[in-house]
Amino acid sequence: MPRYKVSYVVPKDPGAGVILSQREAPRVGQIVELHGKKYRITEVINLLPRQGLTIFLHATLEPVITGENQGAETAS
């Protein structure tokens, strides 16, 4: 089973980003919670070629407006 190393980036809030290891690939439209705030994934791209069981991805995020954040998943 592959592991994903994901670089989460919020373009207008550089301090909000994080790099996480997780078991599932992020998906466009998915809501994630980072640092207690909810974000929607707007883009997912491969950063590097797969290395063994590790897949390196970049996910661009946008803040979720209050009231839209039902069903958020915590990125892990």
pLDDT tens digit string along 1-34?
Answer: 899 999 999 998 878 889 999 999 999 999 999 9
Distance CA 23, CA 55 (A): 10
pLDDT at 60: 97
pLDDT at position 67: 62
Residues 6+ apart with CB under 8 A from 39: 8, 10, 16, 31, 32, 33, 61, 62, 63, 64
Give CA–CA dist 67/49, Å, rounded. Answer: 38
> Could you report the per-residue pLDDT of 26-74, keeping only the tens digit for each?
999 999 999 899 999 999 999 999 999 999 999 999 999 876 545 555 5
Tokens of 58: 């970049």
Q: Supply the range of the domain harboring residue 60.
A: 3-74
Q: What's the structural domain count of the chain?
A: 1
pTM above 0.75, yes or no: yes
